[in-house]
Structure 1
């Protein structure tokens, strides 16, 4: 796993001194602490920092084709590398290492840009074709590995992380106000936007083709999850599907554990991570070494659930104990995520990766992705309930059913009222969002307290949450109207929240400590298999991930297999906004600092800070105030680190290139 950067010349101006490229590399050195390399020419500059997982002694980058005319920098892991290497060797290519990175320029010489269809894995890479004067980028199908770019008049910059582009000094960083609007509704910028103007992500399953002499930049989707129209799913029986999924997952877990370094696993005690750990034991006979988070507060602690799995598998387990002292690392978290988070999830995840690395494990397997394949979140159950109660003769029951259901689920007081209100305007919402009600829409309407006043105090017009974000329609599959509603919601989830939030956090938290996190559930074969399955296999009644529960029942305790999904939450008020709040919170949210930043209404922020001290704990307003204040706090930190300091003052200790 690595970090890559580069600069391409699109005009007459010469490329900057190589020091600029090295400064970009230095900014993300933690992604590749083991080695670094660069390629310099009059047309492009490519740089890479390397985390050595496969063939540590012989895997230096950049890598070249036999002719020397194609050169690549690469971040990722290709799980069918062995088969590809054997084929290339038979065709006469000279390949000197066991690293998957070396295959890329050879595959490019064989297949051109169609080479991306040969790869199965997680990846983000760039190849410079000196003959064609073409710079070619590709990102994996699900967006597991990140890649960003910024186009200017005379140059194109790219990097694994936004901070490297900003650190070049060749772009004036500025918060994207459309993205800020999205943050206080969706909780992340609507892709492909980032939190910064003019810096975009290369979307998952896309290639970017740059002709440096003509300045032509073309973006093309190369893969799409093959979701069938409603009623056209596989005719396989449930028992056959469970057996096939178990076999497929076993193979993919085996692939994902191939490394020249030890491999461990994250274990939360939930269904998904427990399934991965159980499959690892089934494949190898011995249980994996596991790493688990525990919180001081029982309200957030899942360790008792994880302990059941640890004892069932007889797994060596390491526990990270999390408390309020973690709040002091918030600046570091924002530096790595480059995105304010609705919850401080990345704080324990960064520390957990550090614990794995300290114990000799630079590679871990994660259960991320299963929820996004099978509709595993409460919002998917809520959407099914909405459709059930929208039938003639049942609509009058909606308030009663929702109030009883959410009382049983112990939802915070006030949550049901907003959901019922959204139900009444469902058709208008569906029309505004291109024919679909996004699965997380109910949450989007609760994130920002008094959002219009908070963000629009300077007179700026703020997008109403009922209106789709800028660019949202471009994310919808062209055939979404033909899909079953559950499949449509899953397809949207895979193009939005999964890469823009879930996978972003997973990548940044692990790479912050130089750890490679692998996600077997998001292997191409598993994704395509689950896309073909009938919706009832994914959600049976209101039981989510039904087929996964069936096929992994023998791999974990029964209590784990049948337990309802519990979201991974972390404390906010207790860590950041209590009477003993950290000093940096007072500094960042002071009226003077807020006025200097100019993004939020200082009077409203002060009112929120007073109210959060007295609002009842089990209320929706408590949650909304926590989310709103926490997003404001992180945005203030991000403004200071990325815009004002231009990523030249890292909160991390320096690492030499």
Structure 2
């Protein structure tokens, strides 16, 4: 696990000092070692750099950039099945001097070319230079666990694990994309492949760039797409057969993520996802696995007691820490540095805190991310179907038309209910479409289109996102499977994986997401949706697996979100944040916002009105980010 960065400069103006600056601002991702390599060519200058967090082969033999014959590489991530691939390569005549996976990637590419990636089980982003073909290949893993940004403008290509590296290159133009700011405010993250900056892109999961250094061309290739697996014919197997095969795949995925030369632990919330990991890993082990939980002394926000009961039942080596408000408050000023693109998920604070806690004992931590997206764990999936099926379609369209003529702020009684005007606008759009996928998209908006027009000073155009992929899905998928596929391509990669990657790497901890083993989604995507969501029961398949290992009464309880009690604190101890960053003077800076409606919303919230604090949190986070990076 590392941070990688570098450039391909066809103007020849970039030097080693620039590369060192770009790489060393990622020291938090790789505090153990650093490496820099510059190639001066008549046609270009190439810089490859890496900060190393030593997980496999802790010796100097794991140093990067690493070279083999005509190939050089910088690599971030883990190839969990590297030992099996290594044996294949030995059988073909290769020998190895290191004990890690980076050398395996080099020799796999030498043997099988760009298609070598199809053999990898892992999370990865790597940049590989081939001097024979005069090309550079830039890869990102199938699910997008590891980040990779690139900037392509004025004959300069920059790449990095995090945006902050680009600020260290003198030719980087940090010009904000106003349309993408609107997307951020709507979703609380910038959906890929977009970035907050112009000319800057997130490499899509399951893709690689092929850069021809002679022709100065950049071509994008796709090598994997989750939709391809959802679009395959659904498997005709019994639920019991599905349980057996899913558990087998999960066990394999979980065990692969234990491959390490340093201590490994598990984030344990006590929910089904993290409990599945802890239960299947602890079973059959004499050594206790390490588990970690953060708690809050605020009613409705504390999962620690439930997690402790699970840990005691499984017999793990459990560590819990009750976070004080002061500890949480100390994280907030650092968020704009940790998340160097605006990112307003409301669980960033506890995720950073649990990462700090785990890092005191281990260097690698497993998390349960993707369980909800794969197995159907969010209520929004059920809600999307219910909203679009509760009335006949003609009646829904008629109601939507009537609603569009009524101002929700004028409705007595209702107008004072929680977030009413926003919900009113969303329901109107949902009924107008009658489509569950439109409902999912609307439910995913924190700020509606009409609210964006109020808050933003200038006109904007919302570009299409992966929420608009229904046309790419075959009818063998029902509404639930379509929504699961889209959530895998959107909320999972651009929200949940970003949250965990930046939080863990901010403290030099490697985060691993075993549910994102591609073999799991390739199988589960082909199951009937009723094995995942049945009536109002969510995560049917995963629940059945967990109940084989953990007493059902321990698990049957309402799900709690893993968030800090911001709704409580922002009206009390953190009130000054809203008053400062959402003041008229600060909102005017940059010429992005109309201050008046935002200040009115702020004051309504602080007075105790039923306002969704996430709207204000989105704007507050952007204001803090703007102060740091613009």
TM-score, with normalisation over the residues of structure 1?
Answer: 0.87
Matches within 5 A, 1:178-257: 178-225=179-226, 232-257=233-258
Matches within 5 A, 1:576-591: 577-581=570-574, 585-591=578-584
Report the equivalent of 1:64.
Answer: 67
Report the equivalent of 1:404.
Answer: none
How far apart in 1 are the matches of 2:539 and 2:244?
Answer: 15
CA change 1:117–1:343 in 2 (3 A) is closer
Deviation at 1:8, TM superposition (A): 0.7
The secondary structure found in structure 2 opposite 1:14 is coil
Deviation at 1:178, TM superposition (A): 1.2
- Asked if structure 2 preserves the Cα contact closer than 8 Å seen for 1:189 and 1:195, the reply is yes
Matches within 5 A, 1:49-88: 49-57=51-59, 58-65=61-68, 67=69, 69-88=70-89
Deviation at 1:448, TM superposition (A): 8.3
How far apart in 2 are the matches of 1:210 and 1:438?
Answer: 39
Matches within 5 A, 1:255-654: 255-325=256-326, 326-359=328-361, 361-391=362-392, 413-414=417-418, 422-426=426-430, 428-429=432-433, 436-437=437-438, 439-444=440-445, 446=447, 450-456=451-457, 460-463=458-461, 469-472=463-466, 478-480=472-474, 482-575=476-569, 577-581=570-574, 585-616=578-609, 619=610, 621=611, 623=612, 626-643=613-630
CA change 1:347–1:216 in 2 (3 A) is same
- Asked if structure 2 preserves the Cα contact closer than 8 Å seen for 1:537 and 1:546, the reply is yes
How far apart in 2 are the matches of 1:26 and 1:184?
Answer: 31
The secondary structure found in structure 1 opposite 2:596 is helix
CA change 1:384–1:563 in 2 (3 A) is farther
Report the equivalent of 1:2.
Answer: 2
How far apart in 1 are the matches of 2:596 and 2:426?
Answer: 29
Deviation at 1:610, TM superposition (A): 1.8
Deviation at 1:538, TM superposition (A): 0.7
CA change 1:503–1:392 in 2 (3 A) is closer
Report the equivalent of 1:147.
Answer: 148
CA change 1:552–1:197 in 2 (3 A) is same
For 1:542-582, what per-residue CA distance to the aligned partner results, in whole angstroms no more than 9, with x for missing partners? 1111011111203223134333433223222433x335436
How far apart in 2 are the matches of 1:328 and 1:605?
Answer: 26
The secondary structure found in structure 2 opposite 1:437 is helix
CA change 1:322–1:486 in 2 (3 A) is same
- Asked if structure 1 preserves the Cα contact closer than 8 Å seen for 2:265 and 2:366, the reply is yes
What is the root-mean-square deviation of aligned Cα atoms in Å?
A: 2.6
The secondary structure found in structure 2 opposite 1:544 is coil
Task: Considering Cα pairs closer than 8 Å and 6+ residues apart, tell me whether 1 or 2 has the greater RCO.
Answer: 1
Deviation at 1:123, TM superposition (A): 0.4
How far apart in 1 are the matches of 2:450 and 2:615?
Answer: 6
CA change 1:551–1:128 in 2 (3 A) is same
CA change 1:377–1:336 in 2 (3 A) is same
Report the equivalent of 1:37.
Answer: 35
CA change 1:255–1:509 in 2 (3 A) is same
- Asked if structure 2 preserves the Cα contact closer than 8 Å seen for 1:271 and 1:565, the reply is no
Q: Would you say how many aligned residue pairs link Structure 1 and Structure 2?
A: 608
- Asked if structure 2 preserves the Cα contact closer than 8 Å seen for 1:475 and 1:495, the reply is no
How far apart in 2 are the matches of 1:604 and 1:285?
Answer: 60
How far apart in 2 are the matches of 1:508 and 1:231?
Answer: 34
- Asked if structure 1 preserves the Cα contact closer than 8 Å seen for 2:142 and 2:205, the reply is yes
The secondary structure found in structure 1 opposite 2:531 is helix
Deviation at 1:442, TM superposition (A): 2.2
Deviation at 1:240, TM superposition (A): 1.2
How far apart in 1 are the matches of 2:472 and 2:534?
Answer: 27
CA change 1:392–1:451 in 2 (3 A) is closer
How far apart in 2 are the matches of 1:195 and 1:506?
Answer: 19
For 1:489-531, what per-residue CA distance to the aligned partner results, in whole angstroms no more than 9, with x for missing partners? 1111111111111000010010011111111111011111111
Which shows bigger deviation, 216-225 or 436-445? 436-445
CA change 1:208–1:477 in 2 (3 A) is farther
Report the equivalent of 1:26.
Answer: 24
Which shows bigger deviation, 325-334 or 209-218? 325-334
- Asked if structure 2 preserves the Cα contact closer than 8 Å seen for 1:5 and 1:24, the reply is yes
Deviation at 1:145, TM superposition (A): 0.4
Deviation at 1:438, TM superposition (A): 5.4
The secondary structure found in structure 1 opposite 2:548 is helix
Gaps of 5+ in 2: 401-415
How far apart in 1 are the matches of 2:169 and 2:471?
Answer: 36
For 1:364-401, what per-residue CA distance to the aligned partner results, in whole angstroms no more than 9, with x for missing partners? 111111111122111001123234424579979x99xx
Matches within 5 A, 1:130-145: 130-145=131-146
- Asked if structure 1 preserves the Cα contact closer than 8 Å seen for 2:36 and 2:47, the reply is yes
- Asked if structure 2 preserves the Cα contact closer than 8 Å seen for 1:34 and 1:52, the reply is yes
CA change 1:628–1:351 in 2 (3 A) is same
CA change 1:190–1:109 in 2 (3 A) is same
- Asked if structure 2 preserves the Cα contact closer than 8 Å seen for 1:8 and 1:15, the reply is no
Deviation at 1:109, TM superposition (A): 1.2
- Asked if structure 1 preserves the Cα contact closer than 8 Å seen for 2:206 and 2:222, the reply is yes
How far apart in 1 are the matches of 2:495 and 2:88?
Answer: 37
How far apart in 2 are the matches of 1:230 and 1:332?
Answer: 42
The secondary structure found in structure 2 opposite 1:539 is coil
- Asked if structure 1 preserves the Cα contact closer than 8 Å seen for 2:193 and 2:202, the reply is yes
Deviation at 1:176, TM superposition (A): 1.8
